[in-house]
Chain A
Amino acid sequence: MRKNRQLQIKKQTSSFLTDHLRIPPDVSDGESRITIAGDGWIWVEHYKGILEYTGSSLILQGKSGRIHVEGTGLSMDYYTSEDLVVRGKIRAVRYDAGKDA
């Protein structure tokens, strides 16, 4: 009960900072940041891990949900715990709400 309360307070504080101080959520909450250039290059930062990787799809676990990258001939330029770069013909980038949705 006490733990839930603490989490709630933390969320409220974070929400307050984000709303009133206009701090971006990737800085305040550590949300995933995705940079897309055209349809052939994606740079993803702040993810938790890879859930699935095939030549046609890449599913990453973000803080507040899953990130689906769909396309063909997907390859990764590099992969570290901080960020990764995906190349290939990208068709869609989709979010699934909820941590385990």
Chain B
Amino acid sequence: MSSVIGVSEFLFGYLRICIKGGSAERFLNVCAGRGIRLWNLERTEGNLCLNLSLSAFDRLHPIIRKTKVKVVILEKNGLPFFLNRFQKRWVFFLGALLAVSAWLISTRFLWSMEFSGNVKITSDQMKRFLEEHGICLMVPLGRIQVTELELALYDKFEDVTWNSIRILGTSLIVEVKERDVPQRQTEMRSHLGMNLISSGDGVITEMIVRGGVPKVRLGDEVKRDQILVEGRVPVMNEDGTVREWILTEPDADVWVERKLQYEDCESLYYLEMLPGRRKKDAYRFSILGNEYFTEKKNIFYQESILETEVTPKLLQILRIPIRIRKITHGEVNVTLRKRNEDEAKEQSLKKILKFLTTLEEKGVQIIEKDVKIGIEGDFSLTYGVIIIREKEAFFQKTEDELDGTQR
């Protein structure tokens, strides 16, 4: 019914011919009588053009003679003619065949591993775990038992609360969810029966006790390692002696004001690094975990090294385990310089400010600072006192726990 070229016609080849002279109608009738299928018949300039299969054309000779027509071949179509045209280019076809075979074979192996959701557990740990179970790059995909791996992952990593391992194309995707217990809860739980102690000498300026027994008062001077809040509550007998101790959580906000001695000494001489003019690129190839360098040693006597990923996007998309990194070696000229007084003071000031910022980031309040900067010989000296106010958060085990007994 359809004039669309069938698969068999294309595979076995077909011809478009033109019938000239004689009786075209008789030619058609004889063809039909002999079971020859014709398609796409058209009258053009008195001639009849039609398509017929290659095998039918072989049977056409007696019909042509009988009907006294002339046959001109207009087109040769189909796979036999296509292959014939490229007969001389057999190497190209062989290459194409090999490429397709290589591609089909390569899709049966694992080419990349991706990990997501892991924070505490590093990707290297995950890789080691997979290697222990015989999963590494270039392993046949059929050998990977996903369900067994998932169960083994739970056993191996206690922090994993959920995991999903699946094969996507030629990649192994490992997704995990780690235990997400708030830090505060674990801290509180671990301080049961412990004492809150002082981390240094100072004066107590603020104290709010919610749990435990306070051992100091507001305005008291405290020494280092002195117990501030005890993590056990005594149960007294009628005669005033201790009958037993009940362990409790020393939950308190104790703020201590203390003096901090600041001293720093820095040389006026320093090494200055200036980028040179010369630059040279080298490459590092990582193929299946093995690394190959175009330049392994340092190129310049003193140099800076910058690494950038230059793996072609196609390799990344196809998940081919080849990584290319460009290593730019830049020449560096290192010279010894001496700072003048202003520069040295500025440098020291920067250092102090950085130190104070670090303290503030830790939650320490700076009440007062009296720091002096001076130059002595080839050194810049910084010294002074900083008064700070900080919250005590050091815990130590009680005597009972240290002795391993509980009364």
A: residues with CB less than 8 A from B are 43, 49-55, 74-81, 85
* B interface majority secondary structure: mixed
Residues of A with C-beta under 8 A to B28:
49-50, 53, 79
Query: What mask results when residues 19 to 38 of chain B are scored 1 for a CB within 8 Å of chain A, else 0?
Result: 00000110011011101011
- Residues from chain B with Cβ under 8 Å of A51 in the complex: 25
In whole angstroms, how far apart are the Cα atoms of A80 and B31 in the complex? 8
When distances are taken between beta carbons in the complex, the residues of chain A under 8 Å from B37 are: 78-80
Q: A53-B24, A85-B1 are in contact. Are A76 and B41 (CB under 8 A)?
A: yes
Subset of 10 A-B contacts with CB under 8 Å? A43-B1, A50-B25, A50-B28, A53-B25, A77-B40, A78-B3, A78-B38, A78-B41, A79-B39, A79-B41
State A50–B27 Cα separation when bound (angstroms): 10
A77 CA to B42 CA, complexed, in Å = 9
Q: How far is the CA of A52 from the CA of B268 in the complex (A)?
A: 113
Tell me whether B43 is interfacial, beta carbon within 8 Å.
yes
Option from B32, B35, B39 in Cβ contact (under 8 Å) with A77: B39
**B217 CB to nearest A CB, Å:** 107
In the complex, the answer to whether A81 meets B35 with C-beta atoms within 8 Å is: yes
Q: How many residues belonging to B are interface residues under a CB distance threshold of 8 Å?
A: 21
Residue numbers in B under 8 Å from A49 (CB-CB): 25, 28-29, 32
Q: Which residue of chain B has the shortest Cβ distance to A61 in the bound complex? A: B29
A54:B32 contact, CB within 8 angstroms: no
Return A85 CB to nearest CB of chain B, in Å: 7
Which one of B2, B32, B43 lies within 8 Å of A79 (CB-CB)?
B32
Q: Decide if B381 is an interface residue (CB 8 Å cutoff).
A: no
Mark out the residues of chain B between 16 and 75 whose CB falls within 8 Å of any chain A CB in the assembled complex: 24-25, 28-29, 31-33, 35, 37-44, 48, 50
**Supplied contacts A50-B29, A75-B41, 4 more A-B pairs, CB within 8 Å:** A49-B28, A53-B25, A81-B33, A85-B1
Pairwise interchain contact B42-A78, C-beta atoms closer than 8 A = no
Interchain nearest-CB distance for A89 vs B (Å): 14
Question: With A and B bound together, what is the CA distance between A52 and B24 in angstroms?
Answer: 9
- Nearest chain B CB to A14 CB, angstrom units: 25
From A79, which residue of chain B is reached at the shortest CB distance? B38
